Amino acid sequence: MAGNLTDFTDIKILLLHIIASSALGAREDACCEAADSAGGVSYFDGKTVLAELVSAGLVEKKDGKLRVSPSGLVAENEMFRSLPFSVQQRAGEAAQSLARAEARESSILIEKTPQESGRVFVQMTISDGGETVNSIGLSVSEKRADAVGEFLRGNAETLRDALASRIYEGL
């Protein structure tokens, strides 16, 4: 891929841009994947650079998400244009994709409530533009509840849309 980044300074700038573009913050793995698609940055180089950005105070980590600090925003604004143009274009696309994924992730809440019997209630809540859909199920174990939660998270939009179609068609 043309425009692959290998210089750690360029990778820092790219990651600052990607994280800054996600107002809701971003998970480390998602940032590394976006850096790979935008600049051909290896996963391990991405993780190394993210750790350096956090220790330098340019990126802050809170509640498992990364956010760019005010000094990181200044650095990103001043230096992003120094990256190759092809990387800038792909960075914009990767940052938009990451922002959409993080917005979707923040609109889905999965809660587990263990019962005395060992079973677990799993509640999924989807909030999208003020509309809320709730679903509650009973699982036989914590492990199964985790699997159900991941399935619901992965298919939440499809399930919400199917439910809305049924409601509007009169079931």
Q: 42-86: per-residue pLDDT in tens?
A: 889 889 999 999 999 999 998 888 999 999 888 888 888 888 888
pLDDT of residue 11: 86
Order of all β-strands in the sheet with 108-114? 108-114, 120-128, 131-139
Contact 90, 2 (CB under 8 A): no
CA distances 132 to 125, 138, 157, Å, are 7, 20, 12
Pair type for strands 120-128 and 131-139 = antiparallel
Please list, in sequence order, all residues whose beta carbon lies within 8 angstroms of the beta carbon of residue 134, skipping any fewer than 6 positions away: 123, 124, 125
pTM: 0.61
Residue 31 has pLDDT above 80, yes or no: yes
